[in-house]
């Protein structure tokens, strides 16, 4: 006999209202205190290196070595569990994540993705489609106001974000950026000068990049409340 599957449809109406109410209060607190988009990340905590080694002992070779390289460069992570390590405010990054899970990726050459570097960055909406064509591992979070790059090394992610910035500022087209990426990662691997891989060539903002969007639920909620009242009046059982 299979296990009963549950999901959002099984949550009671009272619990649904409680959840959205709690989230709305939290939104108000953030707006009053001016803390939109800030990490509550426990960055004051740092794991012991011996504990990290125990966590990554059975990881695949590539992410395990990336975790060790990142520790050599920035020290132990702030957070860790058997599948993910997280550093906050390490070097130029808002956040660095390394996962045991690998994602296959063929651009610019076959490899796997497992390290992600994030920065605060406000990407204009009209540039999202261009960046999606540029590199599927260029990650954009409009609400949080973040841009990230996920690849197999910090250097590759430097290239991704430097060229992302040039696409956003219309310095390069998507095709030009893809060609430049292949050139720079090849130069870096061969020990030649590759400035796009060595540092961020722009100064990322620190906060003030969130996009709160706009509230539209008031009229929709009023309409649904009217329909709910009609349901109750007609004798339909309340969920």
DSSP state of 239: -
* Model pLDDT for residues 45-55, shown as the tens digit of each residue: 899 999 999 99
Two tokens at 103?
Answer: 């994602």
Rg of the Cα atoms in the chain: 22
pLDDT at residue 33 tops 60: no
For Cα atoms 28, 29, 30, give the angle at the middle one, nearest 5 degrees: 90
Q: 194: left (phi > 0), else alpha (psi -120 to 50), else beta?
A: beta
Two tokens at 53?
Answer: 């080694």
Domain segments of the chain as ranges = 88-198
Question: What is the model's pLDDT at position 118?
Answer: 98
Two tokens at 171?
Answer: 């310095």
Residues in Cβ contact with 202 at an 8 Å cutoff, skipping those fewer than 6 apart: 162, 165
* Model pLDDT for residues 196-208, shown as the tens digit of each residue: 999 999 999 988 8
Nearest C-alpha neighbor of 23 from the set 217, 207, 220: 217
Contact 123, 168 (CB under 8 A): yes
Contact 43, 89 (CB under 8 A): yes
* Model pLDDT for residues 76-124, shown as the tens digit of each residue: 999 999 999 999 999 999 999 999 999 999 999 999 999 999 999 999 9
More confident residue, 187 or 33: 187
**pLDDT averaged over every residue in the chain:** 88
DSSP state of 167: H
For residues 59 and 70, give the distance between their C-alpha atoms in angstroms, rounded to a whole number: 15
6-19 average pLDDT score: 74
Contact 85, 52 (CB under 8 A): yes
Question: What is the model's pLDDT at position 27?
Answer: 56
For residues 33 and 163, give the distance between their C-alpha atoms in angstroms, rounded to a whole number: 35
141-162 average pLDDT score: 97
pLDDT at residue 74 tops 90: yes
Contact 197, 167 (CB under 8 A): no
pLDDT at residue 2 tops 70: no
Question: What is the model's pLDDT at position 109?
Answer: 96
pLDDT at residue 32 tops 60: no
127: confidence class by pLDDT, cuts 50, 70, 90: very high
Strand partners, 98: 85, 115
Question: What is the model's pLDDT at position 25?
Answer: 59
38: confidence class by pLDDT, cuts 50, 70, 90: very low
pLDDT at residue 222 tops 90: no
For residues 99 and 116, give the distance between their C-alpha atoms in angstroms, rounded to a whole number: 9
Backbone angles phi, psi at 107, to 5 degrees: -100, 130
Contact 62, 98 (CB under 8 A): no
Backbone angles phi, psi at 35, to 5 degrees: -105, 20
């Amino acid at each position: 006999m299979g296990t009963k599957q549950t999901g959002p449809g099984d949550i009671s109406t009272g619990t649904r209202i409680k959840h959205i109410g709690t989230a709305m209060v939290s939104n108000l607190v953030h707006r009053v205190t001016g803390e939109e988009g800030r990490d509550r990340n426990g960055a004051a905590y740092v794991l012991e290196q011996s504990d990290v080694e125990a966590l990554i002992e059975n990881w695949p070779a590539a992410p395990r070595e990336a975790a060790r390289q990142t520790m050599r460069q920035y020290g132990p992570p702030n957070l860790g569990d058997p599948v993910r390590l997280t550093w906050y405010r390490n070097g130029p990054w808002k956040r660095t994540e390394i996962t045991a899970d690998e994602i296959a990726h063929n651009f610019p050459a076959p490899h796997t993705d497992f390290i992600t570097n994030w920065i605060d960055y406000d990407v204009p909406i009209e540039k999202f489609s261009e960046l999606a064509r540029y590199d599927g591992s260029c990650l954009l979070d409009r609400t949080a106001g973040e841009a990230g790059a996920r690849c197999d090394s910090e250097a590759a992610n430097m290239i991704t974000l430097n060229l992302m910035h040039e696409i956003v500022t219309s310095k390069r087209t998507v095709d030009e950026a893809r060609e430049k990426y292949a050139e720079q990662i090849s130069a870096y691997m061969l020990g030649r000068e590759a400035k796009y891989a060595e540092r961020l060539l722009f100064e990322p903002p620190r906060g003030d990049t969130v996009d709160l969007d706009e509230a539209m639920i008031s009229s929709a909620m009023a309409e649904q409340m009217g329909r709910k009242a009609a349901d109750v009046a007609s004798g339909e059982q309340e969920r």
